Structure 1
Amino acid sequence: MRKTIIALAVMSLAACATQPNNTSTVQTTNNNAVTASSQSEQFHQLADSIWETLSESDDTALDDMSPEALEQRYQRDSQWLEKLDAIAVEQLSKQDRINHAMIHYVVKNKVDNYRFKAHLMPLTAEGSFHSRLAFLPSYTRFAEKQDYLDYIAKLSTVNRYMKQQVNWLREAIEQGYTQPQAAMAGFEESILAYIVQDAEDSVFFDPFERQPKFVDDDNWQELKEQAKQIIDEQIMPAYDSYFSFMVGEYLPSSRETVGASALPNGDAFYKNRIEHYTTTDLSASEIHQIGRQEVARIRAEMLEVIEESGFDGNFDEFVEFLRTDEQFYPETAEELLKEAAYISKKMDGKLPGLFKTLPRKPYGVAPVPAEIAPKYTTGRYSGSNRDDRAGFYWVNTYALDRRPLYQMEALTLHEAVPGHHLQNALAGEMKDVPEYRQQTYISAFGEGWGLYSEYLGIEAGFYQDPYSDFGRLSYEMWRAARLVVDTGMHAMGWSRQRAIDFMADNTALSLHNVTTEIDRYITWPGQALSYKLGELTIKRLRTNAEEQLGNDFDIREFHDAILENGSVPLDILEAHINDWIKQQKQQ
């Protein structure tokens, strides 16, 4: 009994002695909680305000591209960036840390684009503002009469908008910010494709091809006449003027060099684009070396496939065989589109075995618009943020003798499912996240996922014949070679021809595709680096998960974990997967 009393007394004294410290600890904890709560609230208010401003769209006018407007937006964006940098990110929740990284990524790129004068280079070998404007009809929702009135009002600002862009291109000539002449050869044809004699043949008139029920005959005729008048008197003259400027001033004045390093402040610009597109701090030389290593590895696998095919010849002879034999090429655009649709549907049936979560939004298969097809890449995914419009897998049906069927499986898995459509649609359907999380696309993640999706085709039972398997490897080699040629041209003084030769010597791409791709890399520095670096990251994370989890590794769970936060920087993806692995071990 006495021992019990003594024990209770000691406990009481100990409690009394430690009471002040406990109070202090509680107060400190509470203060930390208050600080964290304050940081969270401050961040939410700032991020919501930024996105609300960026999302504001004028339904009746295109953006003001005047020097004053651009400067004002730059000052605004710079202030936002300062405020975002002042947030104590470590005090935010995991999801808010991701939110912060995403909105920061968006704002920083806007600031960087202005600093590096991206407004002086608003065009690539694939197109420019003139071709982007042509998507106005398809990206506009027409649900009531006012939508048509707003659309007509916006059409009336096309002339002003294009004049402002041409003014920037004239300044680009003066300051040395033109695109390389060799990469822009034939660019004027993409402008000419939109110039028509009859306004009703214009892409801008497409919304008036069919009368909606909610507009009566008289009003409909009036709307059509207004649209035709603006197209005839404003838009076509704007395109005519742009064509004349491009042929008479811009192209003759374009620079002879091809690398970004030749631009004013070019080395810093290219370093910035590497950071933006890869979300890493890798240098150009490091990326170049990674590319060399991957090219050597894939080349060895290609040689194995050639041997398995029974072909009697070397690598170059096999590639020439693939490039020239008629059996590998579609005879009609319809045949190519049907092949793409069949592969897409075949993969649809495999998805439940690879993913627990699938998107609601469907996708379609369509040809690349004829106006941009000649200089456009082989295929691309065209997504949609609207709930009344599907995503589309675009297939380039221009020059069918350069669209080999043996590459269609890899292309389709990348652009449609399980590649870009599945990833983008799932991101758009994420719950309880800000809109900017759904709509921001980070190339290293998205393109890395697309290339990883080509690899998933092996597990899904594709690439059963050696030609298709070689096509898959050729596509992987294409992305590995990009690491070499992009850094080679923009940081190491490579010529355009050297880059073309390297790509042609190491892939089975048609020579037309090789040339259009190299011109794309020349006029879009850094973007081509994102594919392979993103894919290597995802593969490395999967290997780590498989090794740590052993028999408990679930491929469906892993893929859901990769995609569940949307398109994120690679360091955030890695941290998230490491957390996921720990959780799986605990379970």
Structure 2
Amino acid sequence: MKKFFKWTGLLLLTVTLFGGALGAHEWYAKKPLFFRAFLDRTLIKFALDNPEILTSIGVLDGMGFKGHNAELNDDSLEKADEMFVLMREVREGLLAYSDDSLDESQRLSKEIALYLIDGQIESEPYRFHNYPVNQLFGLQSQFPSFMDSTHQVNELEDAQNYISRLKKADVKFAQNMEGLIVREQNNIIPPSFVIDRVLSEMQAFVDSPAEENILYTSLQGKIDKAANFSDADKSQVLKNAAEAINQHVYPAYQSYIDYFEKLKSKAGTDDGLWRLEGGDIAYKQALEFFTTTNYSADYIHETGLSEVERIQQQILTILGSEGFDVTDGFTTAIESLKDDERFYYPDTDEGRAQILADYQTILDEINQSMGEVFNVLPKAGMEVKRIPEFKEKTAPGAYYQRPSMDGSRPGVFYANLYDIKATPKYGMRTLAYHEGIPGHHFQISISMELEGLPIYRTLSPFTAYAEGWALYAERLAWELGFEDDPYDNIGRLQAELFRAVRLVVDTGIHAKRWTREEAIEYMSNNTGIAESDVVSEIERYIVMPGQATSYKVGMMKILELREKAKVALGDKFNLADYHDAVLKNGAVPLEILERLVDQYIQSKST
């Protein structure tokens, strides 16, 4: 986690103190002498141009620089255009380093960087084939979440910077509106249900008095915890915050409410990318990006159907052995399980608090045994929190927030507690292993803490790798004996079934012209999860084409490679060493992962 601090400090201080010498050359030269300097400099320059990223990583704060915390990112179309120009320049810079001049690790860094950049350049003609304001994410929910979870307030300057950002919300919203208008002009309009969801969310956000808004109450809570504010400063800061919310934030939201109210008349009920001009190409690109494969929509769809059948049979076998009637098939049997009240917590504040406590117990328990199957363990801590109530109704069942790179903020497993029926006790272990240990928290934190790699390699956004690992982690926990209870094992299989169903419905919606209702029906009949989860999941796939296919594709590849290594190495196979091979290079495309595992097999065979 100190990697970004170390390289940012080195480059910036070298330029400052030794300007005109080697440091200045490495910072300003079109082709720095050191390939690592080129890669890290590129990412650092990008971060320095994005104040919200600087706040997230927290590095400059530790160096005494806080001015960026008063600013928000430039989200204008002009800025986005500049980014595509920059990507082409970076690509040219990468190609200036011949493979012969690089060592093996550097060649891999170059290959991965080109993979990322080429994918982005290829997607430029379809950059507007999405719905950036939707029920899951978008400025309307990300802005308050960022201010609440990321902007730290430890002293008066931090609070003043917080208010400065509130006052700039209207500019940020106006910049994002530029892209919405371009999409409207190109008939890229969200389905009607998306508009209904975001309107409901935003209207609820502005309906409360400023003093009850999360932007106010979060600041108030941070000031109280800081404990070094005078009463006069606290009173003035909170007064200024309320004024900023009323004068800048609420008008920004109202402008979006007015826009989407007018847009509703143009919205339809077709949901897939197929309905947009060029949508078939956009979806193909989405599948390639998220799975890091060339798998076709048809192949993914058929694989999903096959996996659904296989996993359902395993679940039925366990249910039958536990006395459930399975003669009427999967749907009836799983409904009986779902209706069993012994598997649910009380629908109360106390019940929800107990869920969070039990999640933490599950994670603490498995964490004690990880040294047996991992040679490297993350240094970063993690905690469990509830998804903020203002957005949990349309949020996913859970998600993970990575720790800060400077170590000041742990990783967080956010659990959705809106619908108590969506948290059956038999599913909790699997979810905790996926989001936390040894899932996302292990993979992401270990990646962030790797030494000797360019910064970007510790942050690479390869979803099939990351989500594939998290799904693999569920299976690994079971293999290690942490889900011996047959119902916990059903929870694990149901989670894997859920990801197999995703292969079917995602491709069904975007390539096979399924309606939202058809997809909901298929997922309901084939998973047995709470209906509230089914609806939010299907609606998620509609606004995030291809992303849901990455989990099962990635897991299947990691398991396939593990079996390949077991067969090839026999008695020489060691699970911790295999995990090293998978994790020690950070997130990578699956085809590169296979090559790395092949190299691991070869090294252990001699």
Name the TM-score class by shorter chain: 0.7 to 0.9
TM-fit CA distance, 1:240: 2.6
1:380 equivalent in structure 2: 399
- Larger deviation, residues 218-227 vs 371-380: 218-227
Q: Are 1:170 and 1:250, in contact at CA under 8 Å, matched by a contact in 2?
A: no
What residue in structure 2 maps to residue 285 of structure 1?
A: 298
* Equivalent position to 1:334, from 353, 366, 377: 353
1:21 corresponds in structure 2 to none
Query: What does residue 323 of structure 1 align with?
Result: 338
Indicate the residue corresponding to 2:542 in structure 1.
522
What residue in structure 1 maps to residue 580 of structure 2?
A: 560
Measure the CA separation in 1 of the matches of 2:32 and 2:554. Answer: 30
In the other structure, the counterpart of 1:130 is 140
Paired AA for residue 599 in structure 2:
D
Q: Deviations over 1:65-98 (max 9, x none)?
A: 3332322222222332344356544653222133
1:432 to 1:259, Cα distance in 2 relative to 1, 3 A = same
- 1: distance between equivalents of 2:274 and 2:403? 35
**What does 1:464-483 align with in structure 2 at a 5 Å threshold?**
464-483=484-503
Q: Deviations over 1:428-481 (max 9, x none)?
A: 111122221222231011000000011012222133233222221111111111
CA contact (8 A) 2:31 2:93 kept: no
252, 272, 282: which one aligns with 1:238: 252
Whether 1:364 and 2:383 are equivalent positions in the alignment is yes
String of CA shifts for 1:373-415, please: whole Å, max 9, x gaps.
1111111112122411111111110011232222111111101
> 1:181/1:91 Cα in 2 relative to 1: closer, same or farther (>3 Å)?
farther
CA deviation after TM superposition for structure 1 residue 287, in Å: 1.5
Residue 256 (structure 1) aligns with:
269
**Greater shift in the superposed pair: 137-146 or 526-535:** 137-146
Whichever residue aligns with residue 254 of structure 2, its letter is D
Match of 1:165 in 2: 176
**Percent identity of equivalent pairs:** 30
- Greater mean deviation of Cα atoms: 222-231 or 269-278: 222-231
Name whichever of 279-288 and 300-309 sits farther off: 300-309
- Return closer, same or farther for 1:244/1:573 CA change in 2, 3 Å cut-off: same
- 1:24 aligned residue: none
CA RMSD of aligned residues (A): 2.4
What is the CA-CA distance between 1:40 and the residue it aligns to?
9.3
Deviation at 1:355, TM superposition (A): 1.2
**Structure 1 residues 292 and 97, CA, compared in 2 at 3 Å: closer, same or farther?**
farther
Does the CA-based 8 Å contact 1:413-1:419 persist in structure 2? yes
Deviation of the 1:123 alpha carbon? 2.7
Contact 1:120/1:169 (<8 A) preserved? no
Between the aligned partners of 1:529 and 1:90, the Cα distance in structure 2 is: 37
Counterparts of 1:141-290 in structure 2, within 5 Å, are 141-195=152-206, 197-205=208-216, 206-209=218-221, 210=223, 212=226, 218-246=232-260, 248-290=261-303
Three-state SS of the structure 1 residue aligned to 2:268 is: coil
Most deviating of 381-390 and 137-146: 137-146
> How far apart, CA to CA, are the structure 2 residues paired with 1:296 and 1:566?
33
2:41 to 20, 25, 49: 49
In terms of mean alpha carbon deviation, does 470-479 or 459-468 score higher? 459-468
Q: Please give the alpha-carbon distance, in whole angstroms, between the structure 1 residues aligned to 2:503 and 2:175.
A: 35
The count of corresponding residues between Structure 1 and Structure 2 is: 548
2:424 pairs, out of 404, 429, 435, with 404
Tell me how far 1:136 sits from its aligned partner: 2.0
Could you say which residue in structure 1 is the equivalent of 2:79? 69
Three-state SS of the structure 2 residue aligned to 1:195 is helix
Check 1:295–1:85 CA distance in 2 against 1; reply closer, same or farther (3 A cut): farther
CA contact (8 A) 1:39 1:92 kept: no
Alignment TM-score, normalising by the size of structure 1 = 0.87
Change (3 A) 1:42 1:491: farther
Q: CA deviation at 1:140?
A: 2.0
Is the 8 Å Cα contact of residues 125 and 375 (structure 1) preserved in structure 2? yes
CA separation of 1:297 and 1:240: change in aligned 2, threshold 3 A? same
Distance in 2 of aligned mates of 1:166 and 1:534: 35
SS at the partner of 1:392?
Answer: strand
Contact 1:180-1:254 within 8 A present in 2 as well: yes
In the alignment, structure 1 residue 348 sits paired with structure 2 residue 367: yes
Look up the match of 1:295.
308
User: Using the alignment, how far apart are the partners of 1:409 and 1:295 within structure 2?
Assistant: 21
What SS does the aligned partner of 1:364 have? strand
For residues 529 and 120 of structure 1, what CA distance do their matches in structure 2 show? Answer: 17
2:315 alignment partner AA: M
Please give the secondary structure, in 1, of the residue aligned with 2:270.
coil
Following superposition, the deviation at residue 221 of structure 1 comes to: 4.2
For 2:418, the aligned partner's letter is Y
In the alignment, the residues of structure 2 paired with residue 184 and residue 509 of structure 1 have an alpha-carbon distance, to the nearest angstrom, of 25
Q: Kindly provide the amino acid, as one letter, of the partner of residue 324 in structure 1.
A: D
Cα deviation digits, residues 117-161 of structure 1 (max 9, x gap): 338621333131111101224212345543333332222211111
Q: Which amino acid aligns with 2:479?
A: E
Counterparts in 2 of 1:137 and 1:227: CA distance versus 1, 3 Å: same
Give the AA of the match of 2:175.
Q
2:151 is the alignment partner of 1:140: yes
Answer yes or no: is the 8 Å Cα contact 1:102–1:436 preserved in 2.
Answer: no
- Please say if residues 450 and 584 of structure 2, whose CA atoms lie closer than 8 Å, have aligned partners that are also in contact: yes
Which one has a bigger Cα radius of gyration? Answer: 1
